[in-house]
Structure 1
Amino acid sequence: MFIEDDAQMESFWIQTAIGAIKALTFVCDVITFPVYLVLQRPWETRQQSRRVKAKPVSNDKQMVQYRSVDPPREIHVKMLQANIDTLEKMLKYVSKIYSNQRCLGTRQILSEEDETQPNGRVFKKYKMGEYKWKTFAEVDKSANSFGCGLRKLGQQPKQNIVLFAETRSEWMVAAHGCFKQNMPIVTVYATLGDEGVCHCINETEVSTIITSHELLPKFKNLLSQIPKVNTIIVMEDQLKPTDTTGFKEGVQVYKFQEVIKLGEQNACEGVAPEPQDDAIIMYTSGSTGTPKGVQLSHQNCIATMKGFCDMVKINSDDVLLGFLPLAHVFELLAESVCLLNGVPIGYSTPLTLIDSSSKIMKGSRGDAAVLKPTCMTAVPLILDRISKGINTQVNSNSPFKKALFQFMYNYKVRWTNRGYKTPLVDKLIFKKVAKLMGGRVRLIMSGGAPLSSDTHEQIKICLCVEVIQGYGLTETTSAATVMDAKDMQYGRVGAPLTVTDIKLVNWEEGNYRVTNKPHPQGEIIIGGDSVSKGYYKLPGKTEEEFFDEDGKRWFKTGDIGEVHSDGVLKIIGKTLI
């Protein structure tokens, strides 16, 4: 009886308090509304959200083809003027423009120490320092030297080379060292398993593997299954010495810095690739079957970079937090766009990302708090975890704080949907959540899979950021569509990039037709310079899924979509069950 009375009394006082806060916010709204109306001009935001972003350029009862209505932006035009048509030219170009500016940053690990937990257990934690940076000129020089070091070790232009390592600055240096010598890099996911890794290495007939300290021991067991490999280059750990003994006879193991020094001592001329040359053979981590290697040319990569630059606004003070796998085309191209725009990239890992990450010593700051990034890439799985973490944190609060948060969340959603910003509410409530990622993040780019509307809205509201969702595949070098930053709707993946066209083609088995109302529906076909030439050593599969038409290369995605009246695509299913 008393317990029920106490609960009812608490509920009464909470409702009374929230009612008072509602009254107070109403008064504040009345006072500030004219100011916000004049300063924020919300009608323009709503108008920009509704604007037509792509239009049909061809259609009949079987197909409709859409193209962006937007012109190329400044960076795209500059790339055309400077004739930047390969990744090798791109780095050479930016290293001159941004020569002494920060380029790639690595957080220094000072020591690994035992930390006793409240339950008595002891865990190894990192004592960490600041970020150590290489300038654009230093990165370009290191890449030159690494490429020459590879030549000295016997690696030849147009000879494939495997890059099998986690995301870090050495990954980008190694990749661009290869591009400078026209050596296609083969990227492999560790999640493919030993059999998948061996398949990728054997199919591409590589003799040299670039890997990391953490992954090196794997090859002691795998070398017997990859007989052509005779050279392994290992990126060193900051603290632990790398054991290079015990490998199969005839296999030489070199440290990453040794190869750079070898290149410094044996300087060589670069071998400039042509736009149609393979830059990357990227193996997909497909859910079924044998991994397929997607051939991505320099032209494919440059096309995607142009398209991204036309859609994503870059600021002069931006900093990117890099931690998604660079073996994923989305992360690689996002980081390449940052390099193109002079944006520094600071690297992190899930183990050290935020203050509460598993390897961060108590009282120390995570990478995000030190780097203070403004931009980051993510996949829906990561954003779903952040969303779940926010919900857990809110639900752990007192009933009053939960009710207050929910009221403020709904309040911000209501005004945001009308085209307004809520600076006072952000400062009082939501900026505290945003500090988890350093407090400066303004833009999160999500790719890899469709993002749910609920997660999209919650991340945008609670972290006070723009969340831009895109759609693309490895076969299209990540390019297809990207959301307009002013689009206020959720659950859609944007309009075609300036470098791609999108077709919807009837899929009769599922009754998805371009004549459907209210929106045309069908299988999504992507065309443009970003579309791959095909699958490595799989001509039959390539012929099934790729084709040339009207001077464009096209790829059949197997995804079902519908295009709304403003030219924006929504993914609604798959043809492959």
Structure 2
Amino acid sequence: MSTYTKEEIAARWAAHLDKQMVELPNTQLQGFTPVYRNAAFPDDPKSVLPYDAFLHGMSKNPQANCFGHRPWDAAKGDLADHFVWRSYQEAHDEATALGSTMCQWVEEGLLEPRGNDGSVSSPKMEGWTAAYWGNNRPETSILSLSLAMYSRVMVALYDNFDAAGSVYILQHSQSRVLLCPSQYVPLVLRNADKLPALKAIVLVDQPENQNLMIGEARKEQLIREWASLHQIHVFHYDDVVAQGRKSVRPHLVSRDPEALSLLCYTSGTTGLPKAARILNRNAACAIDGMRWIVNDQEMVSISYLPLAHILERGWQLFIIYMGGSIGFFSGKIERLSEDMQLLKPTMMPSVPRVLNRVADQIQAQMDAPGLKGKLLTKAINAKLANYEATGTITHALWDRLVFRKVRELLGGRIQFVLTGSAPCRKDVLNLLRVALCVDVREAYGQTENCAYATFMAPNDRHVGCVGPVNPGVNLRLRDCPELGYLSTDKPCPRGEIMLQSNAVFGGYEGDPKKTDETLIDLHDGRGKWLATGDVGQIDQYGRVQIIDRVKNLVKLAQGEYIAIEKVESILGSLPLVQQLWLYGDSLQPHLVAVAVPDPDAFSHFVRSVTGRSVSKDDTAALEEACRDPKVVEAALREFIKLGKNQKLGSLEQIRALKLRMEPFSTENGLMTPTMKVKRQAAAKILKKDLDELYAQAPYDLSKVQASKL
């Protein structure tokens, strides 16, 4: 097991940019590629358990900033314009106090299950589950640390989960304690009969104003009285911590690598969420390996991606291991830029939809009238040309003259941006690299591999991939003959991505059938392999490119199969739209689509088609344009043109289109909390639209010509 200096890490990556993965000899199996390992770091990183990762970060400086947030400013009735911080030592002591009070609850019998149906056992001091529901905040991470200290299990719920999904998770996980803002308590109490394990709710609201009128009751008092009817106890977070400080209990840290530390629930695109069992060893595999990928630098990160998602949880653990600081956003995504300008982070985990928004802000500045817009456009084009030629993202003149102000959008100090969860457009990656002078890299992972699978190498300017496999991870591709992807394909082998490492999860809680479908023994002496369901190819640089999904096949009436997500990702890159949902029916001969236009791009598009000026803020006018047959046909032609340029087959083209300004969202039941379309739900909710689309004559593809390159 090797330890590398900062300089050695940089040198090893630089030496392997042309061939970033190596094949292990004598690992070829029929129907599979050989096993691939990281070329720069073929050895395994050391194993670091989650609690030990915190101790490692704290050992660098116990008084360093750990968790920060914007406090409430009562005088102005809004969040303060600064962050306040818990040090590592303060976070450690607070987590100990929180866990100590929970120890007292076990001793006093307060967490004994309600009822006597036998489905929930009496709690021991270790091993039971606590949940957090709400926006990211320091208390979430304090709870996670506390549960690790006392060998308990964490569950986090997306703040935008619907009632049915949230109640199911609390029930399925048998959560005994729930931390949440008071806004979620009524929903929980209305479903208390379904939650026999739940015995304590800890409120993380701001303490209430004590100046009440005669006869008024405090909100917490009302909640407590309602909860008591269901034998559920309600506490305020500050009171729980204060109680624990009076009687600190010794830690009960489990260092068993197979011990369960987290139940991470998938978002449920096709049904109820599945509970992935994240074990101690899963996070332990990734923590030090991430250091080899990101390398040592100042680490101040913004926390805004949901902590219920494995990407944010893994990223936070890495930042803490490195002794960095995590500032939590205000809770409103529209204020994220404001939060970042106050925090001035150096690191930012992200997803494509956020980066697209940043890129749109830059593009809007480029399109602005006058000298500033022209100057920014000239600077961007000059830097892009220089980047293509040399790989350099800095420029002595333009950075000082123009891009300092652009960088201020994200606080002015960003050095590193990670993006995952979905492919990011190449033009967005390149634009952000030169405009922000920042290292933007794509990564690939899943809940089932603790978000630790592949990561772009530093200084790799060839975007459009997710990099080589991470240190400590084995990868091979499995033939998908029904899709036409084979491990023997030339020049790039293709197939379903299979992964094996200590980062691979322990199966799905209570679902052995699904576990056996996902974790497969190839009898190669390496243990079970994770079948990811993603189709990849290995490019000429030894990097992984995600090109398809195994299961998202739609069979059309002709008997032909269409890889719906692959086509959707290609056509969804059209700048005119922000969302695209493709639909195919086995009783119909062609594909149709529902698209949500981008208001800014769509307003310009409508003017070019109709000659009418429409403001991007005039929702009624944009909705009217969505119903204009000329506009719809013109948009459909743009999709068809793009499809022809990208060499899509005729059956992969959209033949009828519906435009709507209302986005797909969790509120209207069309999206999961991780912003993936609920395909089955969408087909039911949008049935009327689909019927209308299939009632139309399919558009004649011969009317549209591909662009001349």
**Could you tell me the TM-score, scaled by structure 1's length?**
0.83
**Change in 2 beyond 3 A, CA 1:258/1:63:** same
Aligned identity (percent) is 23
1:150 Cα offset (Å): 1.2
1:464 Cα offset (Å): 1.7
- 1:293 is aligned to 275
- 1:576 is aligned to 551
- 1:405 is aligned to 376
1:337 is aligned to 2:286:
no
**Change in 2 beyond 3 A, CA 1:142/1:72:** farther
Deviations 1:75-97 (A, max 9, x none): x86xx4xxx64212222333233
**Change in 2 beyond 3 A, CA 1:321/1:411:** same
**Change in 2 beyond 3 A, CA 1:175/1:494:** same
- 2:63 is aligned to 100
Mapping 1:337-416, distance limit 5 Å: 337-349=318-330, 351=332, 366-398=338-370, 400-416=371-387
1:149 Cα offset (Å): 1.1
Name the SS for the 1:509 alignment partner: coil
1:269 is aligned to 2:269:
no
- 1:318 is aligned to 299
**Change in 2 beyond 3 A, CA 1:141/1:434:** same
**Using the alignment, how far apart are the partners of 2:333 and 2:455 within structure 1?**
30
**Using the alignment, how far apart are the partners of 1:553 and 1:266 within structure 2?**
45
The letter for the 2-side match of 1:323 is Y
The letter for the 2-side match of 1:332 is R
**Change in 2 beyond 3 A, CA 1:193/1:383:** same
- 1:245 is aligned to 222
1:143 is aligned to 2:95:
yes
8 Å CA contact retained: 1:160, 1:206: yes
**Change in 2 beyond 3 A, CA 1:215/1:460:** farther
Deviations 1:1-36 (A, max 9, x none): xxxxxxxxxxxxxxxxxxxxxxxxxxxxxxxxxxxx
**Using the alignment, how far apart are the partners of 2:189 and 2:13 within structure 1?**
59
Name the SS for the 1:525 alignment partner: strand
1:163 Cα offset (Å): 2.0
1:431 Cα offset (Å): 1.8
- 1:68 is aligned to 38
1:442 is aligned to 2:423:
no
More strand as a share of residues:
1
1:214 Cα offset (Å): 4.3
Mapping 1:140-289, distance limit 5 Å: 140-154=92-106, 156-237=125-206, 243-246=220-223, 247-248=226-227, 249=229, 250-273=231-254, 274-289=256-271
The letter for the 2-side match of 1:565 is Q
Aligned equivalent of 2:73, options 104, 110, 115:
110
**Using the alignment, how far apart are the partners of 1:244 and 1:555 within structure 2?**
49
The letter for the 2-side match of 1:524 is I
- 2:502 is aligned to 529
1:422 is aligned to 2:412:
no
Name the SS for the 1:216 alignment partner: helix
Name the SS for the 1:105 alignment partner: strand
8 Å CA contact retained: 2:48, 2:287: no
Name the SS for the 1:153 alignment partner: helix
1:547 Cα offset (Å): 2.4
Name the SS for the 1:565 alignment partner: coil
The letter for the 2-side match of 1:106 is H
Aligned equivalent of 2:427, options 431, 439, 454:
454
**Using the alignment, how far apart are the partners of 1:322 and 1:487 within structure 2?**
26
**Could you tell me the TM-score, scaled by structure 2's length?**
0.68
8 Å CA contact retained: 1:213, 1:237: no
**Change in 2 beyond 3 A, CA 1:162/1:243:** same
1:268 Cα offset (Å): 1.3
Name the SS for the 2:83 alignment partner: strand
Deviations 1:240-298 (A, max 9, x none): 78635243311111111211122112221221212210110000113111100000011
The letter for the 1-side match of 2:400 is K
**Using the alignment, how far apart are the partners of 1:319 and 1:158 within structure 2?**
33
**Change in 2 beyond 3 A, CA 1:147/1:496:** same
8 Å CA contact retained: 1:66, 1:567: no
1:135 Cα offset (Å): 1.1
**Change in 2 beyond 3 A, CA 1:575/1:162:** same
8 Å CA contact retained: 1:295, 1:535: yes
Name the SS for the 1:245 alignment partner: helix
1:564 Cα offset (Å): 1.2
**Using the alignment, how far apart are the partners of 2:396 and 2:188 within structure 1?**
54
- 1:22 is aligned to none
**Using the alignment, how far apart are the partners of 1:164 and 1:226 within structure 2?**
15
**Change in 2 beyond 3 A, CA 1:552/1:70:** farther
Runs of 4+ in 1 over 3 A off after TM superposition: 44-50, 213-218, 238-242, 352-355, 400-404
**Using the alignment, how far apart are the partners of 2:435 and 2:60 within structure 1?**
37
Deviations 1:370-413 (A, max 9, x none): 21111111111111121222223332333x54443333212101
- 2:452 is aligned to 479
Aligned equivalent of 1:562, options 515, 525, 537:
537
The letter for the 1-side match of 2:159 is A
1:494 Cα offset (Å): 0.8
8 Å CA contact retained: 1:142, 1:260: yes
1:236 Cα offset (Å): 2.4
- 1:117 is aligned to none
The letter for the 1-side match of 2:422 is A
**Using the alignment, how far apart are the partners of 1:546 and 1:46 within structure 2?**
31
8 Å CA contact retained: 1:96, 1:137: no
Once the two structures are overlaid, the 10-residue window that deviates more, 283-292 or 261-270, is 261-270
**Using the alignment, how far apart are the partners of 2:197 and 2:307 within structure 1?**
25
Name the SS for the 2:381 alignment partner: helix
8 Å CA contact retained: 2:203, 2:235: yes
**Change in 2 beyond 3 A, CA 1:269/1:46:** closer
The letter for the 2-side match of 1:278 is L
Which one scores higher on RCO, CA 8 angstroms, separation ≥ 6? 1
Unpaired segments ≥5 residues, structure 1: 1-43, 114-124, 358-365
8 Å CA contact retained: 2:538, 2:545: yes
1:86 is aligned to 2:46:
no
Deviations 1:137-181 (A, max 9, x none): 111111111111111122631012222232111111111101111
**Change in 2 beyond 3 A, CA 1:513/1:67:** same
How much is the aligned-residue C-alpha RMSD, in angstroms? 2.4
Give the aligned length. 505
- 1:12 is aligned to none
8 Å CA contact retained: 1:416, 1:422: no
**Using the alignment, how far apart are the partners of 1:464 and 1:552 within structure 2?**
43
8 Å CA contact retained: 1:111, 1:239: no
Once the two structures are overlaid, the 10-residue window that deviates more, 427-436 or 389-398, is 389-398
**Using the alignment, how far apart are the partners of 1:354 and 1:234 within structure 2?**
24
- 1:116 is aligned to none
**Change in 2 beyond 3 A, CA 1:93/1:429:** closer
**Change in 2 beyond 3 A, CA 1:516/1:88:** same
Deviations 1:117-152 (A, max 9, x none): xxxxxxxx7251421111111111111111111111
Deviations 1:526-550 (A, max 9, x none): 1100000100100000001112452
Name the SS for the 2:162 alignment partner: helix
The letter for the 2-side match of 1:207 is R
